[in-house]
Chain A
Amino acid sequence: MTATLARLHPRNLRPETRPILIAAGFILVILALGTAYTLRAQGTAPLLSPGYLLQQLQIGAFLGLVAAGMMMVILLGHIDLSVPWTLTAAAMMATTVGGPWAIPAGLAVGVAVGLFNGFGVAVLRIPSMIFTLGVDSVMRGLMVAHTGGFAPRTEATPLMRSLAAGKLLGIPTAIFVWAAVSLVVAVTLSRTGFGRSIYATGSREGAAYLSGIRTRLVITGAFVASGLCAAAAGCLLAGYSTRAYQGMGNAYLLPAIAAVVLGGTRILGGSGRYAGTVVGVILIVLLNSVLSIMQMPEAGRQIIYGVVIIGMLLVYGRNERVTS
């Protein structure tokens, strides 16, 4: 017993675990503050009801999918700014194609974008910040052209709707989708050679290359994963909203990056645990919804969002001083 407790002592923890615990603690703080507010304002504690929490997880599933893919790219020290319009394009392609091929079509968009991103970043060595920005622009252009001339179908298929909004055993199916993807990502990162190669490449690409790691494949693989996750989120989101629409992906980019970073992953790459990303997503979703309940205007929300991120990063206390 004491040995277990000793392992939880801050000094004995691996540095990657500390932020996760702090973030989890902060989630409890948010729930506590929110409950205090609702008790005072309405005399009830809806935040603590299982129904409410499940609903939050359901909403979180969309952000969670995007963040899962984004984490793999950030672990490499790169970033994927093409997520907003990849998500939208996948949703639009899925709804346009319709029928049983809807979701595969959407996912194929994600794979295609991911391959293209991988080519630009891994082969052409264009900084990912600017290349994926350009790709996002092109995807937007394609979708504007696609939906402008004629009015393609935008309704979600029944499968998409049930995956996003349906329930299985009383739990929203979207959560199962998120859980399944999470399992794959977590296992990949911690238990496969590909996952270790991601950490190695993100830590120092030159040394990874000279160790015989196929760094170009690793980078491309991570971007394909990010594209796939964004596409999956798009299909799911289209199912939830029952249709695909312009700009549906814009609200997910910055929160996904924030979730990954709040979960303890270094923005420069090389370290971070997937559990942290999950915790980060839950934190952001809960923060959003508590602020909604408090009917906080957009101005206040943005300020609190920014302050929370900075506050938590200060508590994590990373970054060594460069001395040599």
Chain B
Amino acid sequence: MTRLLAQNRAFAGACLLLALLWLTYNALHPRGFSAAVLVQNANESVAIGFVAMAQTVPVLMGGLDLSVGAVMTLTNCIASAVVSGSPAQIVLGMVLTLAAGTAFGLMNGLVVVYGRIQPIIATLATGAIAIGLALLIRPQPGGSIDDDLSWALTNQLVDFADTYGLAEGGKTWWFRPFAPLPVPLLLLVGTAFLAWIPFRRSITGRTVYAIGSAEGAAYMSGLPIARAKIAAFTLAGFFAACGGLYLAIQTSSGNADVTQAGAYTLNSIAAVVLGGTSLLGGIGGAIGSLVGALMLRVISFYFRILSVDPLLQPLIEGLVLLAAVSLGAVRTLRVRNRLELFR
């Protein structure tokens, strides 16, 4: 157990900090610790949570994906066009949205591996393409999402059951303990467990970590480097698409907002760092980035309840971010052999 903690110091620290922040928030909130607040918070955290998980995979390889926000925006717009109609059409629409994002991620991977272009600049360019496509689909904000779906996925589990007539509308006895769980949170955690954990335990997942840690050694050891790099970007595209799909469901519209895309991308990088993943690669994980994203969100929630002067909010957000990432520097100051500072 101690070994687990020692090897995952940053992640453990992030979890602790998140717990602290969240508990304090609820303590200060007039209606804290209530289901309504939890659901509302969860709703607002899903998109950034998915985008942060998306960013994690390329970062683990020592690279970066600057197109995650754009892919989220693109899939947002696609969803706003196809996720409506008959139940079959809705399901097809959702599948199409996720497939589109995944395919875009695949394209990113192919450009990086076979085009041999550095990820940061390749995804800078593909991000522009994604935004362009999004603008083609939705030159103006608009579109619609099936109302039932929207209601079901943005509230508690009992509402989900009620909408779709499961478990007698959520009233059966074995359902009760699960009733108040916010569906958005379940979606986040569920996707993390169903998509991320198996990936991490596969050879491809291990290769991603190995590439970030020592790519030369990974090649010499016979790991499938090209396959892992392509898979990493593809997975990033998938997670970004999850975020875009949910955003469409949450806002019931598609909005090709360039500024918002950029903000999501940059915030995803911050979330990844806060969650304990190293920008140098090899250390960290998507769950940590999820924690980091939640931390960012919770900090922004504080502004609402502390009635901070709105003019000061951006400044405080910036200072908090700067302080948080500087914490990692404390270890640097204790280094005794300066050669260790250079990788």
Q: Which A residues have a C-beta under 8 Å from some C-beta of B?
A: 81, 120, 124-127, 129-131, 133-142, 144-145, 148-149, 205-206, 209-210, 250, 254, 257-258, 261, 267-268, 297-307, 309-310, 313-314, 317-319, 321-324
Provide the residues of chain B in CB contact with A137, threshold 8 Å.
Answer: 314, 317-318, 321-322
Known: A299-B135, A302-B132, A305-B125. A324 touches B219 (CB 8 A): yes
A127 close to B280 (CB less than 8 A): yes
B316 close to A141 (CB less than 8 A): yes
Q: Please report the C-alpha to C-alpha distance between residue A77 and residue B111 in the assembled complex, in whole angstroms.
A: 21
Nearest CB on A from B222, distance (A): 13
A314 close to B311 (CB less than 8 A): no
Provide the residues of chain B in CB contact with A120, threshold 8 Å.
Answer: 326, 329
Closest to B116 in A: A319
Provide the residues of chain A in CB contact with B215, threshold 8 Å.
Answer: 322
Is B216 among interface residues, defined by CB-CB distance under 8 A? Answer: yes
Known: A254-B124, A298-B132. 15 other contacts (CB 8 A): A124-B326, A124-B329, A124-B333, A133-B269, A133-B270, A134-B270, A139-B318, A140-B315, A206-B342, A209-B339, A303-B133, A309-B125, A310-B115, A310-B122, A322-B225
Count of chain B residues with a beta carbon within 8 Å of a chain A beta carbon? 58
Closest to B118 in A: A267
Nearest CB on A from B203, distance (A): 19
B216 close to A125 (CB less than 8 A): no
Q: Please report the C-alpha to C-alpha distance between residue A300 and residue B258 in the assembled complex, in whole angstroms.
A: 14
A307 close to B259 (CB less than 8 A): no
A305 close to B128 (CB less than 8 A): yes
Is B127 among interface residues, defined by CB-CB distance under 8 A? Answer: yes
Q: Which of B303-335 contact A (CB under 8 A)?
A: 310-319, 321-322, 325-326, 328-329, 332-333
14 CB-based A-B contacts, threshold 8 Å: A81-B266, A133-B270, A134-B321, A138-B322, A141-B313, A141-B315, A144-B313, A149-B311, A254-B128, A257-B124, A299-B133, A302-B135, A322-B215, A323-B216
A144 close to B311 (CB less than 8 A): yes
Is B15 among interface residues, defined by CB-CB distance under 8 A? Answer: no
- Across the interface, B338 reaches (CB within 8 A) one of A131, A209, A257, A268, namely A209
Provide the residues of chain A in CB contact with B341, threshold 8 Å.
Answer: 125
Provide the residues of chain B in CB contact with A145, threshold 8 Å.
Answer: 311-312, 314-315
Is B169 among interface residues, defined by CB-CB distance under 8 A? Answer: no
Q: Please report the C-alpha to C-alpha distance between residue A142 and residue B319 in the assembled complex, in whole angstroms.
A: 10
Provide the residues of chain B in CB contact with A136, threshold 8 Å.
Answer: 318
Q: Which B residues have a C-beta under 8 Å from some C-beta of A?
A: 64, 111, 115-118, 120-122, 124-136, 139, 215-216, 219-220, 225, 258-259, 266, 269-270, 273, 279-280, 310-319, 321-322, 325-326, 328-329, 332-333, 338-339, 341-342
Known: A130-B279, A209-B342, A324-B216. A313 touches B121 (CB 8 A): yes
Q: Please report the C-alpha to C-alpha distance between residue A131 and residue B342 in the assembled complex, in whole angstroms.
A: 17
A314 close to B273 (CB less than 8 A): no
Nearest CB on A from B192, distance (A): 23
- Across the interface, B121 reaches (CB within 8 A) one of A131, A144, A250, A309, namely A309
**Number of cross-chain contacts by CB at 8 Å:** 161
Closest to B67 in A: A306
Nearest CB on B from A42, distance (A): 26
A319 close to B118 (CB less than 8 A): yes
B317 close to A141 (CB less than 8 A): yes
B122 close to A250 (CB less than 8 A): no
Nearest CB on B from A249, distance (A): 13
A127 close to B279 (CB less than 8 A): yes
Closest to B319 in A: A138
Nearest CB on B from A89, distance (A): 12
Q: Please report the C-alpha to C-alpha distance between residue A307 and residue B107 in the assembled complex, in whole angstroms.
A: 13
A313 close to B115 (CB less than 8 A): yes
Nearest CB on B from A307, distance (A): 7
Ranked nearest first, the 9 interchain pairs of A and B with the lowest CB-CB distance are A141-B315, A137-B318, A302-B132, A303-B132, A299-B135, A306-B128, A134-B322, A138-B318, A206-B342
A126 close to B325 (CB less than 8 A): yes
A298 close to B135 (CB less than 8 A): yes
Provide the residues of chain B in CB contact with A268, threshold 8 Å.
Answer: 118
Provide the residues of chain B in CB contact with A319, threshold 8 Å.
Answer: 116-118
- Across the interface, B216 reaches (CB within 8 A) one of A206, A209, A257, A322, namely A322
Nearest CB on A from B113, distance (A): 10
B332 close to A124 (CB less than 8 A): yes
Q: Please report the C-alpha to C-alpha distance between residue A126 and residue B322 in the assembled complex, in whole angstroms.
A: 10
Interface centre among A127, A254, A306 (most CB of B within 10 A): A306
Nearest CB on B from A304, distance (A): 8
Interface centre among B115, B124, B317 (most CB of A within 10 A): B124
A148 close to B311 (CB less than 8 A): yes
Provide the residues of chain B in CB contact with A309, threshold 8 Å.
Answer: 121, 124-125, 128
Known: A134-B325, A300-B132. A142 touches B315 (CB 8 A): yes
Nearest CB on A from B326, distance (A): 6
Q: Please report the C-alpha to C-alpha distance between residue A99 and residue B312 in the assembled complex, in whole angstroms.
A: 28
Nearest CB on B from A30, distance (A): 17
Q: Please report the C-alpha to C-alpha distance between residue A178 and residue B337 in the assembled complex, in whole angstroms.
A: 43
Nearest CB on B from A248, distance (A): 14
A310 close to B339 (CB less than 8 A): no
Provide the residues of chain A in CB contact with B133, threshold 8 Å.
Answer: 299, 303
- Across the interface, A317 reaches (CB within 8 A) one of B116, B219, B328, namely B116
Nearest CB on B from A70, distance (A): 13
Known: A254-B124, A301-B132. A205 touches B342 (CB 8 A): yes
Q: Please report the C-alpha to C-alpha distance between residue A209 and residue B342 in the assembled complex, in whole angstroms.
A: 9
Nearest CB on B from A219, distance (A): 12
Provide the residues of chain A in CB contact with B139, threshold 8 Å.
Answer: 297, 299
